[in-house]
Amino acid sequence: MAKRIDISDLNIYYGDFRAVADVTVSIEPRSVTALIGPSGCGKSTFLRSINRMHEVLPGARVEGKVSMDGQDLYGPDVDPVDVRRQIGMVFQRPNPFPTMSIYDNVAAGIRLNARKMKKSDLDALVERSLQGANLWREVRDRLNRPASGLSGGQQQRLCIARAIAVEPDVLLMDEPASALDPISTLAIEDLMTEMKERFTIVIVTHNMQQAARVSEQTGFFNLSAAGQPGRLIEFNSTEKIFSNPDEKATEDYISGRFG
């Protein structure tokens, strides 16, 4: 299921503005890859370009190559909708569908795509996904209640359950714990450690301890000045990044001597 992603010479634009420049990187399957860096350096933009969510904004476009197990995701005959079915995403703010129940939220990826599935299979899928997101025990007796009644941390785990219910190969997480309290954050970090057996996970985070705790590989993004595009400064094993990075900028950022 988990697949590897190869990115080469990726340039990402908002209209005429180049937000991210010349990124070349390989993301390993069955591992957690963390992206760190200051605000506005293009981490989230880079993340969103992996599953072609970047281009839903007006004027946004991408140059370069992104491929998943050799398949070019930006090829001329590739439907972005298909890409997004294989590469799921969890956002910074929990965004369950407010009109739907907890059950319907998890089943949303199946139902909204009008995939036919037997009720019993769907029930099993919902249970499996909620268990995968470590939420099943908390919500199993109120599956038909509105999702908006859950706490923030539960909502975020519901969003993770919703994302893994469509059985993607890769899971992108854009600061998934930044709006949550430490306990919910811990729950989500534990979850990532479990989930990397099955998925390739890429996470953007501002919390460096979090990056150090959960990831195998870490990429450091930075921009040289405001108005300049963000660049991938260093990409290395997490251990090396946090103990003995190759680049001076990485070390400055990690040790807090930044700018």
Contacting positions for another protein (CB under 8 A): 51, 53, 56, 58, 81-86, 88-89, 91, 93, 95-99, 108-109, 111-114, 146, 148-152, 159, 162-163, 166
The residue among 203 and 212 lying less far from another protein, judged by its C-beta, is 203
Give min distance, CB of 194 to another protein, in A: 21
Nearest alpha-carbon partner for 173 in 211, 144, 209: 211
- C-alpha dist (Å) from residue 194 to 127, 170, 186, 229: 17, 14, 12, 35
The residue among 160 and 233 lying less far from another protein, judged by its C-beta, is 160
The residue among 11 and 95 lying less far from another protein, judged by its C-beta, is 95
- C-alpha dist (Å) from residue 175 to 37, 195, 216, 237: 12, 17, 17, 20
The residue among 52 and 213 lying less far from another protein, judged by its C-beta, is 52
Give min distance, CB of 88 to another protein, in A: 6
Amino acid occupying residue 191? L
Give min distance, CB of 166 to another protein, in A: 6
The residue among 99 and 237 lying less far from another protein, judged by its C-beta, is 99
Neighbours of 203 (CB within 10 A): 27
Burial class (CB in 10 A: 0-12, 13-18, 19+), 216: middle
Give min distance, CB of 183 to another protein, in A: 17
The residue among 46 and 242 lying less far from another protein, judged by its C-beta, is 46
Give min distance, CB of 90 to another protein, in A: 8
The residue among 82 and 190 lying less far from another protein, judged by its C-beta, is 82
Tokens of 104: 């319907």
* Distance in angstroms (rounded) separating the CA atoms of residues 131 and 127: 6
Give min distance, CB of 189 to another protein, in A: 21
Three-state SS sequence of 183-218: HHHHHHHHHHHHHCCCCEEEEECCCHHHHHHHCCEE
Tell me the pairing of strands 230-237 and 217-223: antiparallel
Tokens of 19: 């937000």
Give min distance, CB of 156 to another protein, in A: 12
Dihedrals phi, psi of 53, to nearest 5 degrees: -85, -20
Give the 3-state secondary structure of residue 85.
helix
